[in-house]
Structure 1
């Protein structure tokens, strides 16, 4: 058998196996992105920022079936099966390229999106409403306080209404949370870094990670399409019998 055919078959078999592994990996990445945005959706106006993650999850749903088609088609060297496999790979490749481009676009928009909404959410803080729970969760998880720094709280309605010269307890440093009162007279007990910068960095890192995974799989799909072309052309030109045809006949 031609060396190119053996190589192509090996690539396609490995690609088919990779589809099953990729289903789990892509599901994890998509769910992680969705969960991250869900935790901070109050700070994001553009809900289409979840579109790359939605595309990833949709792709993962059909991975196992595609892997099965790829294995059977490669072993039997079926023109119909290989053609179907090629078409599926092409569609996924286009979807992944689209997700990569969208991820790049929305990664650049995260900063403006966060900056434009965070001030309004912090302004609605009263310690009881849903926005207050989101703010407290954000400050506790990111170990931050205020939008740009802890002094931002002095301009909020909540701060002016309490008149106790303190910030929410969620601003307290983790190691000092038991004794912390949130008083601005004791800044050493507070997280002084603002939440906007940390949130922007975190969201951009998540998108960048998703984009890197998408790019890697897109490259694999490209080589897979090339292998299908090589296997199909060699089969038509040489007229040889499939090596594994007896196993699946």
Structure 2
């Protein structure tokens, strides 16, 4: 089936815009994973879990470049731009497949990666100068959680003993209670859920986002490949027609 040049150009522009949208989603997933890891680094056993995020950000950057090259190729009859666009799509597909595979692999290891969580909470000092304590407070405030499994985990910590058993960390306070000061006699003012489940859910969500973003990317790339193939075929037919026309003119003149 043959399509007009205008139809192919419009299709390619739409494809490039979709590439940018998919790239934005992939970038947000990778960026969130890296930011979440940087804040919660003491809780994780290895750095490997950030690899999907790094590859996802690289993919997003190439998707942006691919979209720009594709838009340029849509308005210019350039074999070079068309070739670069197709090449970038192949590279993007390889990178996103790698990111999805890594995310899927690590999604089953989130629980084991958080093996250091309990030790970090146990060694909580409450000092703003202590990076481990800052990580605990930041996590409890941001994820609205308290303790590892729940607030009762604090009962067996040196921090709770130093407070003479009357106080939980201020970061455990539920924001719904403005008068909360961490008093152990008012546990209903604390966040009910533990941080382990919250962290697992947050990381698992981002990893699944990176994993499943491969599907829309495949669909968009198939459309891009098909459109570009049609444009290159049309260009070749036009080139053959021009050469034949020149040859016919030479024969007539001769």
Question: How far apart are 1:95 and its partner, in Å?
Answer: 0.7
The alignment of Structure 1 onto Structure 2 pairs a total of residues equal to: 239
Partner of 2:188: 188
Structure 1 residue runs of 5 or longer lacking an equivalent are 242-249
**Bigger Rg, which one:** 2
Aligned-residue Cα RMSD (Å) equals 2.8
Please say if 1:119 is aligned against 2:130: no
Aligned to 1:162: 163
Distance 1:20 1:173, change over 3 A: closer
Q: CA deviation at 1:131?
A: 1.1
How big is the shift at 1:189? 2.2
Aligned residues of 1:23 and 1:61 also touching (Cα < 8 A): yes
The CA deviation at 1:197 is: 0.7
Aligned to 2:249: none
**Are the equivalent residues in 2 in contact too, given 1:49–1:106 (CA < 8 A)?**
yes
Q: Distance in 2 between matches of 1:21 and 1:14?
A: 11
Secondary structure at 1:126 match in 2? coil
Q: Determine the structure 2 residue equivalent to 1:246.
A: none
- Give, in angstroms, the shift of residue 19 of structure 1: 4.2
Name the residue aligned to 2:248: none
In the alignment, the residues of structure 1 paired with residue 200 and residue 58 of structure 2 have an alpha-carbon distance, to the nearest angstrom, of 26
Cα–Cα, structure 1 residues 16 and 193, in superposed 2: closer, same or farther, change >3 Å? closer
Normalised by the length of structure 1, the TM-score is 0.81
1:62 deviates by 4.2
Query: What secondary structure does 2:116 align onto?
Result: helix
The Cα of 1:220 is off from its aligned counterpart by: 0.9
> Which range is displaced more, 120-129 or 1-10?
1-10
Match of 1:148 in 2: 149
Q: CA deviation at 1:99?
A: 0.9
Give secondary structure in 1 for the equivalent of 2:89.
Answer: helix
